[in-house]
Structure 1
């Protein structure tokens, strides 16, 4: 019984630490919680997906999407589509439909995953593309 409580607690804590993007295959729309681009964090973004480039799988590499303007590709640590979770996904961006907010990004954050890996993420993303 104690084991079940601990597992439930850990799962609920990890789901608060980061939230996956959501892809609606019927509308081809991706809802993004936060994306890093040009030293700014864009929140509550909705885009049309151009095409899928890669689905790498494995543990999510960070907690924030990263857009690379040189390759015009978006790296997504985790996305849910039709009830399945895909990790470390790269897509091309079609159209931007909505942006909820913009804040400057100075390389620091209160998010422990992003704080420890933001520069590694950018480097990894650029190297795969």
Structure 2
């Protein structure tokens, strides 16, 4: 259920970001001289080349890059929310190394560790023969 909710929130964020209005980059200049001169004149006269816009004769820079502020707020909220979810999951399911017993000494066999008789003891019959 939590994964479905996370996917729905992610899909809603993508829709908000894709449907918002953005500035279009300036057109690329072509190789011939007339097109290059025309392109330079157009680039000099259009403020969209600098990602700026003109309102009532004054040029402004768009600090939101043409994206709706609500979409920026939702994106920031999503980053913080999913970061907290990942942090909580990492803390919940983390197995800390201090709970494992320290290794002391060298190798001992299974029979010594579990208190079983040795496999080399001749009084114990081993196998079907």
Q: Which has the larger radius of gyration?
A: 2
TM-score relative to the length of structure 2: 0.23
Between Structure 1 and Structure 2, the one with more helix by share is 2
Bigger RCO of structures 1 and 2 (CA < 8 A, at least 6 apart)? 1
TM-score relative to the length of structure 1: 0.23
